[in-house]
Amino acid sequence: MKKESKVDKTAKIFKLLGDGTRCRILLILKKHTDGMYVYEIADAIGMSHSATSHQLATLERGGLVSSYKDGQTVCYILVPGSHMQNLMKALLEVHCH
């Protein structure tokens, strides 16, 4: 099986960022570096918990967020040390001021 190139990986990231809901989730997680629960994210973006979970799973498969269990609930954070934190900061500075 052919190894995925850096260009292909970058294209996948941009595809993930091409969805407004996923971008909103990433921006919210950027502001909450200690992580957030699914219900908190869902409330912040005004979506159902199941729809939010689906988007978070997509972001996790794409390597942009990670999760951990806190009792019965799942907490999500931006992947620590990833370039995503710098990218989200740059996007916020350019487009949200």
pLDDT at 91 over 70: no
pLDDT at 96 over 70: no
In angstroms, what CA-CA distances link 40 with 15, 34, 88?
A: 25, 13, 20
What are the tokens at 78? 């931006």
Helix (H, G, I), strand (E, B) or coil at 76: strand
In a domain, 1, yes or no: no
**Using one digit for the tens of pLDDT, what is the confidence trace for 14-62?**
888 888 899 899 889 988 988 999 999 999 999 999 999 999 999 999 8
Number of domains in the chain: 1
In a domain, 2, yes or no: no
Query: Residue 88 in contact with residue 30, Cβ under 8 Å?
Result: yes
In a domain, 37, yes or no: yes
In a domain, 59, yes or no: yes
Q: What range does the domain containing 79 cover? A: 7-95
pTM of the model: 0.80
**What CATH number is attached to the domain comprising 28?**
1.10.10.10
